[in-house]
Structure 1
Amino acid sequence: MTKMPDNDTFVFEQPCPIRDVLDRIGDQWSLLIMETLAPGTLRFNALMREIGDISKQMLSRTLKQLEQDGFITRTLYPEVPLRVEYALTDLGHSFLEPMQQLITWAETHHRTIVIARERYQST
Structure 2
Amino acid sequence: MPDFVSDKHLFHNPVEFAMSKIGGMYKMPILWRLKDKTWRYSELAHNIPHISDRMLSKSLKELLNDGFISKEIFPEVPLRTEYTITERGNKAVTIITALRNYGFELMNDFGIKEK
Class of the TM-score when normalised by the shorter of the 2 chains: 0.7 to 0.9
Tell me, yes or no, if the aligned pair for 2:22 and 2:92 is still in contact at 8 Å: no
Give ranges in structure 2 of 5+ residues lacking alignment: none
Q: Which residue of 2 aligns with 1:85?
A: 82
Q: Percent identity?
A: 31
Alpha-carbon offset, residue 52 of structure 1? 2.4
Contact 1:44–1:86 (Cα < 8 Å) also in 2: yes
Aligned partner of 1:48 in structure 2 is: 45
* Superposed CA offset, 1:4-32 (max 9, x none): xxxxxxx8434543212212312011111
| 2:57 alignment partner in structure 1 | 60
**Per residue, is there more helix in 1 or in 2?**
1
Which whole-Å CA distance do the structure 2 matches of 1:24 and 1:114 have between them? Answer: 31
Structure with more relative contact order (C-alpha pairs < 8 Å, separation 6 or more): 2
Which of 21, 45, 58 pairs up with 2:18? 21
Amino acid at match of 2:34: L
Corresponding position: 1:32 with 2:22 = no
d(CA) in 2 for partners of 1:62, 1:78: 23
Stretches (4+) displaced over 6 A? none
What number of residue pairs does the alignment pair up?
105
Answer yes or no: is the 8 Å Cα contact 1:41–1:88 preserved in 2: yes
Gaps of 5+ in 1: 1-10, 116-123
Contact 1:36–1:51 (8 Å) recurs in 2: no
